[in-house]
Amino acid sequence: MVTGAVKHGFFIQDPDAGTYGADAQGCSHALFVFSRGRKPAVGNWLELDAKVIDYTRLEIDKPVTQLQMNKVRLLQRNGPEIVPYMLRAAALPAEATEQAQYLNSLEGMLVGIEAGATFVQASNPFGDYVVVPLDWEEHADRFDALRSAEGGVLLGPNKQSLWLPGFRIRKSRDAPKINVGARLQTPVAGPMDYRVGAYQIAVTGSFDATQADIDISASTLVPTANALSVLTLNTFNLDPHIERARFVADPRSDIDDDIGSGQYRLLAEAVVQQAACPDIVALQEIQDSDGAEITQTVSAHKTLKRICADIERAGGPTYAWVDLPPESGADGGQPGGNIRNAFLYNPARTLLREGSAIRLGENDPAFTDSRKPSIAEFALQHNGTRSSAWLTVVNLHLASKRKQHSIFAVQDPGHDPRAAMRVAQAALVRQHLQALLNSDQEFYVTGDFNDVEHSQTLRTMLGEDCCNMLERLPARQRYDYNHRGKLHALMHGVVPLEMQQQNRVEYEVLHGNELLGVRPGELDRAQKASDHAYVIARIQPGSA
């Protein structure tokens, strides 16, 4: 029986074998049929002449048993009805290995999600969704799970790699725009597809859901006379240029319009409306002035000039900036983009120490083809005179987790080949921090660490004499990023432990952005300026 289709083929299931668990082995009774051409209709009962193969997209990935079709004969247009197997938290294993076995036994089969499930990932342009089933709360303890105020899921340190039920709408133009916390109003069903290192239900048609309103939180940490406020903002490969196809590596993914899409405007609103015009803005993922075009351009002058102008238009101050360009192609990221960290600062309140701006790790192997930390010293000023001690701000973006193995990979499931690289990068930053501690220089380390608070990366950087301000927040607030429905923290705020103990540092995550599939008042276009939440610290430096 044909139960559904995706771009490159369709799924068939034995109508006489029953649903999952009908035999003692708990085996799947379905297969994927590779077919780029015309696909039979759902409900057709077929006889196939085909070759069985194990297909893998990547060498390390899990093989998918599928059929390469030779001939097909239609037995009946409408065969027997197959009842979907409904995914429930009660049956979902809480250990990664058992979960992989469970999902493998459902591969290709007609499965579904009942109405009442809660969306825990915001919608995207591709029609992907992640939910927790209706009975989740009854079993949340098994997954060491907490819920955010908006309904998202924070899994415990030993459960980070677990899979949450997800589905994809085949026609993305029919896919509703959904925020975290929305509720599924109609059940969905389709074959359990394995793609891009994870399982997803391949759903035909659309669904109904109740929308969830997400508040775009504003900071309580407004600038004060005796404190510097520092906003951390991942700008999501920001540039002011519409790339020309002949100059980019991949025209399908490397051409964008950050001005026309509203990205600059939304970032400016984050600075002015959410963060109350902070003294310093630590920016990540700033691209050079011609974006992903592969040219000799490395300066981000136009990129930073535009964001400063948009902040002024939004009612903010006139910011100055610090740009420390990489060598062309040396820091990884999108080809041609010359990604880097940068600073904005408000010269009406803030001094930049002359000659203090440097890049760390230029010749260190740990930072080969990776973004180098930017460092600068700032102080409060009054009428042009420095009124506080210098505060060293370290703005980093450590090695990406993009190459991490799927939890379903046959080789080293869940292995992150760049984990050791991040630890080595953290060790180099730690050396710099130790030198600052030895000289009684106060500091704040911020940015995208690409690792969680309980990782070796953070332990290496903290040592015994530093504090991660994220860990001073309530447990349900410790997140800034949503990965396949799981909330976790990749941004952190590291300060000397003494500063924290003296209550001279306050820290806040401005939640909302990472939970949005559609912004309030903009139901006709789903957009957000970054894939991260924003974080802000207010720090009282020592006396001048």
Q: In angstroms, what CA-CA distances link 50 with 14, 62, 76, 79?
A: 16, 22, 19, 20
**Whether 510 and 375 share a structural domain:** yes
Side chain identity, residue 139:
H
Same structural domain for residues 123 and 270? no
CA distance 418 to 403: 7
278 lies in the same domain as 138 = no
- Which of 151, 176, 210 marks a domain boundary? 210
What is the Cα Rg of the chain in Å? 25
Type of residue found at 157: P
* Whether residue 200 is found in the same domain as residue 266: no
> Are residues 510 and 437 part of one domain?
yes
CATH of the domain at 424: 3.60.10.10
Residues 190 and 264 in one domain: no
- Look at residue 90 and tell me if it is in a domain: yes
**199 found inside a domain:** yes
Contact at 8 Å (CB) between 444 and 374? no
Phi and psi at 303, nearest 5°, equal -60, -50
Residue 289 token pair: 């002035």
Residues 9 and 139 in one domain: yes
**In-domain check, residue 502:** yes
Between strands 110-113 and 30-34, the pairing is: unpaired
The pLDDT tens digits along the chain (544 residues) read 999 999 899 999 998 876 554 444 578 899 999 988 888 999 999 999 999 999 887 777 888 889 998 899 999 999 888 999 999 999 999 998 899 999 999 999 999 999 999 999 999 989 999 999 999 999 999 999 999 999 999 999 989 889 999 999 988 888 899 999 999 999 999 999 998 888 999 998 899 999 999 888 899 999 999 999 999 999 999 999 999 999 999 999 999 999 999 999 999 999 999 999 999 999 999 999 999 999 999 999 999 999 999 999 999 999 999 999 999 999 999 999 999 999 999 999 999 999 999 999 999 999 999 999 999 999 999 998 999 999 999 999 999 988 888 888 888 888 898 999 999 999 999 999 999 999 999 999 999 999 999 999 999 999 999 999 999 999 999 999 999 999 999 999 999 999 999 999 999 999 988 999 887 766 444 467 899 999 999 999 999 8
Q: Enter the tokens of residue 275.
A: 């963060």
For residue 460, being part of any structural domain is answered with yes
Residue 246 inside a domain? The answer is yes
Which residue range is the domain that position 414 belongs to?
Answer: 228-539
Beta strands in 128-208 (DSSP E): 128-132, 145-147, 153-155, 166-169, 183-184, 188-195, 198-203
Domain endpoint, select from 175, 210, 245: 210
User: Do 241 and 171 fall into the same domain?
Assistant: no
Question: Is residue 222 a part of any domain in this protein?
Answer: no
Which helix (H) or strand (E) element contains residue 430? helix 419-438
Q: Confirm whether pTM is higher than 0.75.
A: yes
Q: Is residue 272 part of a domain?
A: yes
What gap in Å lies between CA 529 and CA 233, rounded to an integer? 10
Domain count, the chain: 2
3-state secondary structure of 155: strand
